[in-house]
Amino acid sequence: MDFSSDTSAPAHPKVLEALARANAGNAPSYGADPETAALEARLKTLFETEALSVWPVASGTAANALALACFCPPTSAVLCHREAHIERDERGAPEFFTGGGKLRLLDGPDGRIPAETLAAELAGMDPSFVHETPPALLSLTNLTECGTVYSASEISALSRLAHASGLSVHLDGARFGNALARLGASPAELSWKAGVDVLSFGLTKTGAIGCELIILFGEATARFAELQARAKRAGHMPAKLRYLSAQANALLEGGLWLELAGHANAQATRLAAGLAGLPGAQLRHPVEGNEVFVTLPDSMARTLSDAGAKFYPWPEGGYRFVCSWATPDAAVEQFLSIVYPASR
């Protein structure tokens, strides 16, 4: 009954098999290997575009911070939601990688930035006012940090506003698969077709050991050499890059990643349905992916914890429960049997 995080799950067996395959013999270092070439080709097909460059890294913080740094000069700012992972959980990585850029925080219910909020913020900006730090970039997260999704049209609307003001658009897709599985949209529809210039495409939470893809789209591919240089000097150009690419290849093969993300979503939906019916419990956000944020009676939280369920209290209040590709039916059933002991 481990609902603490999708990062406490192991890697999917196919990822391990892929590593073993990639381990056959010597290969060029630093990304000049066949696995990485295959990954790029595979992504072009998956995202339905030739205008795409990719650099794999081993952590989501690295993916986000490198992506932001390629678009936000040190004299500029990134617009993001107050709850954004880049603001709350990356120990200042965006400020470090951008050389002292700022994050400017926007509010909005359920982790989403409303278009009117963005519009108002952009309208209030005066890039000619040298004392203030103007935004260069909009960063969205999908799944949001509240476990909700942005639809393709919502992202498009925000991107249009951003682009009209000269901002680029970054998407933190640490749980991109969960969003896609929920919406049934295509990867292209939820990224470049919706105006995303650079995507942090997370696979770690989906089932990798540690693999996040920084993907540049369209004109942003012109920044690939800069991205590589920044990755190198940040220690994110491991010599044997093939083992990162192999993880991604394994998960993307045959749509495994979407299947795994769908499973995680389904388990969270079951969990949420159970919790929602509990007297005194209240879902804090719609459950649209693999995360459940819920206010619980203290006694219930204690009972669950005592029974061995793992989960975290959340800074904004209530508790968070996360399901992963590896969450078995049995864990959900055991959990629900504790919540509803009468049903035993």
Residue 115, SS3?
A: helix
- The structure tokens listed for 239 are 């010599």
Q: Does 215 bind a second copy (CB under 8 A)?
A: no
Q: What is residue 61's three-state secondary structure?
A: helix
Q: Residue 215 corresponds to which tokens in the numbers above? A: 């993907």
Residue spans of alpha helices (H) in the chain: 13-22, 34-46, 60-69, 85-88, 93-98, 115-123, 152-164, 176-183, 224-233, 242-252, 256-276, 298-306, 329-339
Residue 302 contacts a second copy per CB under 8 A: no
Examine residue 226 and tell whether it contacts a second copy (CB under 8 A): yes
- Choice from 184, 239, 298, 342 touching a second copy (CB under 8 A): 239
Per rule CB under 8 A, is residue 9 in the interface with a second copy?
yes
Q: Is there binding between residue 328 and a second copy (CB under 8 A)?
A: no
Burial class (CB in 10 A: 0-12, 13-18, 19+), 310: middle
Contact between 279 and a second copy (CB under 8 A)?
Answer: no
Q: Which residues pair with 292 in a beta bridge?
A: 321
Contact pick of 56, 101, 111, 135 for a second copy (by CB under 8 A): 101
Question: According to the binding rule CB under 8 A, does residue 153 interact with a second copy?
Answer: no
- CB-CB neighbours of 13 under 10 Å: 10
Of residues 76 and 159, the one with the C-beta less far from a second copy: 76
Q: What is the per-residue binding string for a second copy in 20-49, x denoting contact by CB under 8 A? A: x-xxxxxxxxx-------------------
Shortest distance, position 90 Cβ to a second copy, whole Å: 7
Q: Of the listed pieces 97-105, 106-114, 256-264, 276-284, which binds a second copy according to CB under 8 A?
A: 97-105
- Of the listed pieces 149-157, 184-192, 202-210, 258-266, which binds a second copy according to CB under 8 A? 202-210
> Which of the stretches 93-101, 258-266, 284-292, 301-309 binds a second copy when contact is defined by CB under 8 A?
93-101
- CB–CB of 149/143 below 8 Å? yes
Q: Which of 122, 78, 119 is closest to 98 using CA atoms?
A: 78
The yes or no reply on residue 344 touching a second copy (CB under 8 A) is: no
Binding segment (CB under 8 A) for a second copy, from list 19-27, 161-169, 270-278, 299-307:
19-27
The interface region with a second copy, picked from 109-117, 187-195, 239-247, 268-276 by CB under 8 A, is 239-247
Shortest distance, position 133 Cβ to a second copy, whole Å = 5
Spatial CB neighbours of 294, under 8 Å, sequence gap ≥ 6: 272, 275, 276, 281, 282, 283, 284, 318, 319, 321
Is 308 near a second copy (CB under 8 A)?
no
How far is residue 205's CA from residue 190's CA, in Å, rounded to a whole number? 18
Contact (Cβ atoms closer than 8 angstroms) between residue 43 and residue 49: no
Chosen residue from 323, 326, 338, 339 binding a second copy by CB under 8 A: 326
